[in-house]
Structure 1
Amino acid sequence: MNKKLILLSIIMLMPLCLAQNISIEKLLTYNKWSSQHQRVYLNEHEKLFRQMVFFENLQKIQEHNSDPNKTYSIHLNQFSDMTKEEFAEKILMKQDLVNHFIKEMDQQVTHNDSNSETQLNSKSLTIAASIDWRTKGAVTSVKNQGSCGSCWTFSAAALMESFNFIKNKVLVDFSEQQLVDCVTPANGYQSYGCSGGWPVSCLDYASKVGITTLDKYPYVAVQKNCNVTGTNNGFKPKGWIYIPNTSNEFKTALNFSPVSVIVDATNWGNYQSGIFNGCDQSHINYNHAVLVVGYDQQGNWIIKNSWNAYWGENGYIRLAPDNTCGILTYGYQVTA
């Protein structure tokens, strides 16, 4: 809080200088965006700060989109008055927690004996030139996690939703809020609601307790007390596997069903469309969980995100082939 106050104070000392560089067109763009996103600020100090952040982001967007060598475009959206640091703090998972998960999960690659048989069966599949599980009716609508780092529950719920459809031929929205509230240290899981967690923990929890539907346990974007009892609360995954980190293994797996992954989404905030390749591949920070629903003929990965359907390509992002943003490193798939 003190850091923000200091920053606001500094900005307040030079509004006239900054204003000289702000065109009428940019002010109109801000007013339109602010109205569209229903922005209400605590006071004039915060409003001025948010305006300056917005104008800086707008400048970056215009510079990026004017570069003909870029393979993707970026645009104004719900994150456009956030600094990069605020975006990471409010939307992405906490880095120290993720590092702890990684240390633990690196030692765990399978769940039970059914995995090896199912994995063998999946490897026998013919790898299609492209696949998109949306066209098969196996993917639910894009959700919105809000200002809560609960992406891990959305990735896990989406994974179970798709497998439930493939197995039982019914598409049902499962409850992310149940996972936020119940996959906790109190229940034996090192996951922390809006601060972060690991999708596989959700699978383990659901295999024991079951996951109920979204309409029975709605999402509220904050962690509350666990509101389920007993061990028969809906769908129960019986097995899952870790996907070896090669493109061929991932494509093979995706011919069986969608895959839950952990990625570096540090630079995803303003993505609008195209093939994203904007991660720093020399320094991957795993901080976001999503669902891979397929790949195209060029090998680009098709990703379902949880930042609402207005973000990106109707809520989706396409990543460049191979291990872009670390997509191949931590992939899991329900098998039974």
Structure 2
Amino acid sequence: MFLTLLSQSHVCRPSHGYAARNNHLWNSFKVRFNKTYDSLQDQVRESVFMRNMRRITLHRSRYRAQLESFDVDMNYFTDWVSSDAYMNHFAVWLQSERIQMLGIKRSERLPEDTWTDYNIPSEAPTSLINVSIPDTLDWRQRGAVTRVKNQGKCGSCWAFATVGAVESHHFLRSEQLVELSEQNLLDCDRTDAACHGGDVFRAYRFMTRQGGVDTALSYPYHFFPERCHFSPQAVGARVLGFRQLPSADEVLLKAVVATRGPVTAVMDATIDLFAYKRGVLSVKNCSNTTANHGVIIIGYGTEAGMEYWLVKNSWSAKWGDEGYFKIQRNVNMCGIATNVTYPIVGDVDIDES
């Protein structure tokens, strides 16, 4: 399949100057992002890269003309994800790398498709009706959000999306911003599949039954699963349970984010998200019922007349808008409001020694 694609790509040969510019761009990209390939991979990757760069260039021109609500740019993923339909072995090879940067194994909800409490006293959602909330909110400005992390080539977004929410809720309860261990979940949560994906509900159940989650300092992230060495003495946050919101209720979701704190959400991560740079993501080529990526909603607002959710990702601070993105609000864009949960945390003594 590779040879067929490559031979077809040389049917119409570009001019020498055009080819030289493309080759320079490709080589500069590899140096910038520390990419190395064997000769066959290099040709295939360059073909994907150039196709995506044409797509990025077209989108950026539309963004400058105010025909798009978000901007895109070259990044680490530009030679990973094909904008064409995946096909045969060529497709599987590229798609498998895309999955590595995602990690939601399934998109099921708890049996009740309503406001649901797990292992905690029930609270009626009516308690949030008519509550005064701000028009714009960013929990970073209140010191409630840890730095952007990097899941690497591991489908562990489910761990980052849940642990990150626990970090924020622990801060809101204790005024201590403690980085917690996603590796603890990769190694010890046998109900999920580590780098092969997981489920946010199972992750929250696991942290509840384990009694919390260790600090990142005591249990650092290594990008792949290892032997479990959870230590109760190193617990950085205690998880009592979690709450699931009604599906696609973005009015209630706004109230929860404003009054309770950041929440875990799962969504359909599209090709456009991989290339995202700034602005409000609004696309047609995504699903609001199928999820493959876990993220954290940390705020909301309005930009250029479009309402948005402010979202923390786990693809490093070099991706997107310093590791964050905005996505259109009140239309359940890419299913961002379909499956939403947040943790309930308790007190814990942190060993500062």
**Identity across aligned pairs (percent)?**
27
Pair 1:296-2:292 in alignment: no
Q: Counterpart of 2:118 in structure 1: which amino acid?
A: H
Pair 1:287-2:292 in alignment: yes
Pair 1:325-2:317 in alignment: no
1:40 maps to which of 31, 36, 42: 36
Matched residue, 1:88: 98
1:53 maps to which of 26, 48, 51: 48
Q: Offset of 1:14 from its aligned partner?
A: 4.7
1:71 maps to which of 46, 53, 69: 69
Q: Offset of 1:26 from its aligned partner?
A: 2.5
Q: Deviations over 1:129-165 (max 9, x none)?
A: 1111010000000001111110000001100000010
Matched residue, 1:254: 257
Matched residue, 2:25: 29
Q: Counterpart of 1:320 in structure 2: which amino acid?
A: Q
Gaps of 5+ in 2: 83-94, 346-353
Bigger drift between 11-20 and 193-202 goes to: 11-20
Pair 1:312-2:320 in alignment: yes
Bigger drift between 158-167 and 20-29 goes to: 20-29
Kindly indicate whether the alpha-carbon contact (under 8 Å) linking 2:299 and 2:310 is maintained by their aligned counterparts in 1: yes
Matched residue, 1:196: 197
Bigger drift between 158-167 and 228-237 goes to: 228-237
Q: Deviations over 1:258-298 (max 9, x none)?
A: 01001011221111111101243566430000000010145
Inter-partner Cα distance in structure 1 for 2:333 and 2:97:
20
Inter-partner Cα distance in structure 2 for 1:239 and 1:89:
29
Aligned partner of residue 238 in structure 2, secondary structure: coil
Q: Offset of 1:19 from its aligned partner?
A: 5.3
Compare the two structures and name the one with the higher strand fraction.
2
Decide whether aligned partners of structure 1 residues 279 and 141 sit closer, same or farther in structure 2, where only a CA change above 3 A counts: farther
Matched residue, 1:275: 280
Decide whether aligned partners of structure 1 residues 234 and 283 sit closer, same or farther in structure 2, where only a CA change above 3 A counts: closer
Matched residue, 1:3: none
Kindly indicate whether the alpha-carbon contact (under 8 Å) linking 2:59 and 2:71 is maintained by their aligned counterparts in 1: yes
Q: Offset of 1:223 from its aligned partner?
A: 1.7
Aligned partner of residue 303 in structure 1, secondary structure: strand
Decide whether aligned partners of structure 1 residues 122 and 163 sit closer, same or farther in structure 2, where only a CA change above 3 A counts: farther
Matched residue, 2:86: none
Matched residue, 1:175: 181
Bigger drift between 80-89 and 230-239 goes to: 230-239
Q: Counterpart of 1:288 in structure 2: which amino acid?
A: H
Decide whether aligned partners of structure 1 residues 231 and 280 sit closer, same or farther in structure 2, where only a CA change above 3 A counts: farther
Pair 1:134-2:140 in alignment: yes
Aligned partner of residue 333 in structure 1, secondary structure: strand
Q: Offset of 1:38 from its aligned partner?
A: 0.7
Inter-partner Cα distance in structure 2 for 1:266 and 1:194:
20
Alignment size in residue pairs: 318
Aligned partner of residue 237 in structure 1, secondary structure: strand
Q: TM-score, normalised to structure 2's length?
A: 0.83
Gaps of 5+ in 1: 1-5
1:105 maps to which of 110, 114, 120: 110
Matched residue, 1:265: 269
Inter-partner Cα distance in structure 2 for 1:148 and 1:63:
31
Q: Offset of 1:334 from its aligned partner?
A: 1.9
Decide whether aligned partners of structure 1 residues 52 and 88 sit closer, same or farther in structure 2, where only a CA change above 3 A counts: same
Bigger drift between 316-325 and 76-85 goes to: 76-85
Inter-partner Cα distance in structure 1 for 2:289 and 2:204:
25
Pair 1:220-2:222 in alignment: yes
2:121 maps to which of 108, 111, 114: 114
Decide whether aligned partners of structure 1 residues 333 and 201 sit closer, same or farther in structure 2, where only a CA change above 3 A counts: same
Inter-partner Cα distance in structure 2 for 1:280 and 1:193:
28
